[in-house]
């Protein structure tokens, strides 16, 4: 079975904006071999291939829109091509590109948003955000365990689901309004 | 009364720009200006830093071709140390430069320009982008994305990260290449060649389809400048400067790139932060020149790799008796020829046993107070010029960037397209896009050429002779 994919992204020169990258490194250290981990400056269509190969994808990013750690399930964006930009790609946009390019996406897609304290110049993240990242690492590990359990259970019950499954283009009507 | 059209921001380029089109009292296009309205002052804030830091600092000037800045900066450092770097380091720097070409040329062709070619200049602007292309040309877009990814992965393997790598240093490079990573790079080569050849076939069809449109896509005589090897081959790392005129005559050859300031000067205009370099000997008007893929393919006598050379011969046949291809739309064609060359040349270098050598750095202290590093970046020749004190602290920095060297040509291109397509003092979406497409031929990167922080949109204004804005489009 392919490993789940964890993508942390952000600008590591702007302190807490690099929280997603820090989180991924921490996850690799705490749970080696548990997920395929990628850290990138920003999301781009080059990542689509890695995403569609994974049974599950988790994006980790710093966010000014949340005050507490937030884990949420996401769907592909419903935006038309005119609203997507080559300079700013959201996880939802990337999933949309996966459908366009490969006709499928992982069955489970999540984004972890980490609240930030400082976005000034600097290569270190704040202690508060480090603590939030450590919480996020545990939350992601638990999430992946649950998905793996659900997949095993579904298999035993003779159903599809969990981390062995992908959503295909034929299901796109359900995904994209 | 006369008018001005403004296009701001210019889209699908790297950086932020505005175009104003000035009309006369009869509403005919008098002139057009490509304004670059950001300023960053990169050269100034490097003063006082240590020369050793410059590869790491200047690679951050831009996220598109940081590796080219890294190489030019490291070469300037080599000059200050007055040393020859190990052969292995030169091969590795060459591979990095080629990887930069691959990722940047693939971005330019597949992501930024092919939507115009495949969907049409007048197609729905909402879909005329790489995402719109995904819907109908899935395989081509997938291939283009993977080709760019190949370039990025080579940069990441060598430099440790895809952008802003500090891997090249004065005296060589930090790390050698191991066999496993070399083999991983070699594994991409067949697919990269295939994708490039598919793109070349596609582009030749485009040339036929848009013959009428491209007549005015910056078709004028100018000088062409770039590096060639001692034998006249297309060159991208060493070599000397060649200057060719629009008739294909070599008017200066074997110029030492380290003396660039003897041959080129820059003029500033009040309406743009992007300067206008020119060939000194012919003065500002006649000395305007173009750099980058079109210039490089025009000026070289041959290309050292077989597939790219065969394409160059076809390119020359299309040029005919003109001597040099003067139509800027052919930048795209030349870019694809260079892509093919980059893949073939990288394969040659990866198979060279020297590339896997373990000695990658020569060490020395400050031996000269001045150093110039020149390298062919994707968009054209790039110069880094540093003056240091005895401790290596920078006293003066000059960066002459490819996009700036194409500035006069970009302005002429915009004027030509505007003259051909605007006849009613009105901007239509199709005209707007053709003007942008004219600029995109040069694949300008404004972030580093102005040394400016770039977002990247387009603004066009239509301005009367009295300076009144009559029409304006932003996106």
Alpha-carbon torsion, ordered A40, A41, A46, A49, to 10 deg: 30
ipTM attached to this prediction: 0.77
Residue-number span of the structural domain to which A88 is assigned: 5-175
Model confidence pLDDT, tens digit, residues B164-173: 777 899 999 9
Contact at CB, B129 and A101, closer than 8 angstroms: no
Give the DSSP letter of residue B243: E
Nearest CA in chain A to B141: A101
Indicate the pLDDT class of residue B360, thresholds 50, 70 and 90.
very high
| pLDDT for res B14 | 55
Which chain B residues have a beta carbon less than 8 Å from that of A99? none
CATH number at residue A34: 3.40.50.1450
Predicted pLDDT at A53: 94
At A8 the pLDDT is 97
- Contact across the interface for A101 and B130, Cβ inside 8 Å: no
Distance CA B273, CA A90 (A): 32
Residues 6+ apart with CB under 8 A from B421: B216, B430, B431, B434, B435
Q: Residue B1: its pLDDT value, please? A: 41
Q: How far is it, in rounded angstroms, from Cα B434 to Cα B121? A: 7
Measured between alpha carbons, how far is B427 from B216 in angstroms, rounded to an integer? 17
Distance from CA of A87 to the nearest CA of B (A): 8
Which residues are CB-contacts of B239 (< 8 A; sequence separation ≥ 6)?
A: B227, B228, B229, B230, B233, B257
The per-residue pLDDT for range B229-288, each reduced to its tens digit, is: 999 999 999 999 999 999 999 999 999 999 999 999 999 888 887 889 999 999 998 999
Q: Where are the alpha helices (DSSP H) in B19-63?
A: 42-46, 54-58
Domain total for chain A? 1
User: A142 burial class (0-12, 13-18, 19+ CB within 10 angstroms)?
Assistant: exposed
Predicted confidence band of residue B350 (pLDDT cuts 50, 70, 90): very high
Q: Kindly give the residue spans of alpha helices, DSSP state H, lying in A57-126.
A: 91-102
Q: Kindly tell me if the per-residue pLDDT of A6 is higher than 60.
A: yes
Where in B64-191 does DSSP place strands (E)? 168-169, 172-173
Tell whether the model's pLDDT for residue A157 goes beyond 80.
Answer: no
- Residue found under tokens 């449109």: B213
Q: Which of residues 19-58 of A touch B (CB under 8 A)?
A: 40-41, 45-46, 48-49
The pLDDT score that the predictor gives to residue B15 is: 59
Instruction: Give the model's confidence band at B388: pLDDT under 50 very low, under 70 low, under 90 confident, else very high.
Output: very high
Strands A56-63 and A108-115: parallel
């Amino acid at each position: 079975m392919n490993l789940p994919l964890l993508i942390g992204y952000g600008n590591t020169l702007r302190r807490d904006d690099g929280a997603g990258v820090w989180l991924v490194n921490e996850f690799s250290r705490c749970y080696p071999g548990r997920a395929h981990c990628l850290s990138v400056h920003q999301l781009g269509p080059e990542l689509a291939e890695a995403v569609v190969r994974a049974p599950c994808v988790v994006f980790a990013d710093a966010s000014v829109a949340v005050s507490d750690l937030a884990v949420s399930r996401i769907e592909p964006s419903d935006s038309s091509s005119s609203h997507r930009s080559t300079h700013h790609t959201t996880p939802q946009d990337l999933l949309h590109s996966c459908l366009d390019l490969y006709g499928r996406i992982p069955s489970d897609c999540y984004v972890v948003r980490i609240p930030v304290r400082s976005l000034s110049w600097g290569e270190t993240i704040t202690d508060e955000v480090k603590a939030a990242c450590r919480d996020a690492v545990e939350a992601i590990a638990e999430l992946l365990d649950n998905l793996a359990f659900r997949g095993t259970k579904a298999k035993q019950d003779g159903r599809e689901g969990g981390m062995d499954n992908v959503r295909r283009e034929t299901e796109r009507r359900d995904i994209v309004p | 009364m006369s008018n001005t059209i403004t296009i701001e921001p210019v889209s699908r380029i790297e950086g932020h720009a505005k175009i104003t089109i000035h009309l006369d009292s009869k509403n005919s296009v008098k002139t057009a200006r490509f304004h670059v309205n950001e300023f960053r002052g990169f050269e100034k804030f490097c003063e006082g830093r240590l020369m050793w830091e410059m590869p790491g600092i200047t690679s951050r000037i831009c996220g598109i071709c940081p590796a080219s800045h890294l190489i030019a900066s490291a070469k300037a450092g080599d000059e200050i140390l007055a040393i020859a770097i190990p052969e292995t380091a030169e091969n590795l720097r060459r591979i990095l430069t080629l990887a930069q070409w691959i990722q940047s040329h693939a971005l330019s062709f597949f992501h930024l320009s092919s939507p115009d070619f495949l969907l049409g200049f007048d197609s729905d602007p909402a879909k005329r982008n790489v995402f719109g292309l995904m819907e109908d040309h899935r395989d081509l877009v997938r291939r283009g994305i993977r080709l760019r990814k190949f370039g990025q992965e080579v940069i990441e393997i060598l430099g440790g990260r895809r952008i802003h790598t500090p891997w090249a240093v004065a005296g060589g490079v930090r790390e050698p290449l191991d066999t496993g990573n070399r083999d991983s790079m070699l594994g991409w080569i067949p697919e990269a060649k295939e994708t490039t050849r598919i793109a070349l076939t596609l582009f030749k069809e485009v040339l036929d389809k848009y013959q009428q449109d491209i007549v005015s896509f910056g078709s004028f005589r100018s000088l062409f400048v770039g590096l060639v090897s001692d034998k006249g081959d297309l060159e991208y790392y060493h070599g000397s400067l060649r200057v060719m005129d629009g008739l294909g005559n070599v008017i200066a050859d074997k110029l030492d790139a380290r003396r660039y300031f003897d041959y080129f000067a820059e003029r500033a205009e009040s309406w743009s932060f992007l300067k206008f370099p020119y060939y000194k000997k012919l003065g500002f008007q006649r000395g305007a020149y173009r750099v980058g893929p079109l210039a490089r393919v025009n000026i070289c006598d041959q290309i050292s790799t077989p597939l790219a050379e065969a394409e160059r011969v076809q390119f020359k046949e299309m040029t005919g008796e003109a001597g040099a291809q003067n139509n800027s739309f052919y930048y795209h064609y030349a870019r694809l020829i260079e892509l093919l060359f980059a893949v073939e040349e990288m394969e040659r270098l990866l198979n060279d046993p020297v590339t896997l050598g373990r000695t990658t750095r020569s060490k020395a202290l400050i031996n000269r107070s001045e150093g110039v590093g020149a390298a062919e970046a994707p968009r054209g020749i790039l110069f880094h010029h540093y003056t240091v004190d005895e401790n290596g602290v920078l006293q003066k920095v000059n960066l002459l960037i490819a996009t700036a060297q194409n500035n006069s040509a970009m302005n002429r291109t915009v004027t030509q397209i505007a003259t051909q397509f605007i006849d009613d003092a009105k901007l239509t979406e199709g005209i707007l896009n053709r003007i942008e497409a004219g600029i995109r031929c040069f694949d300008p990167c404004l972030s580093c050429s102005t040394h400016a922080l770039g977002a990247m949109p387009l603004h066009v204004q239509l301005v009367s002779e009295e300076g009144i804005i009559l029409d304006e489009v932003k996106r």
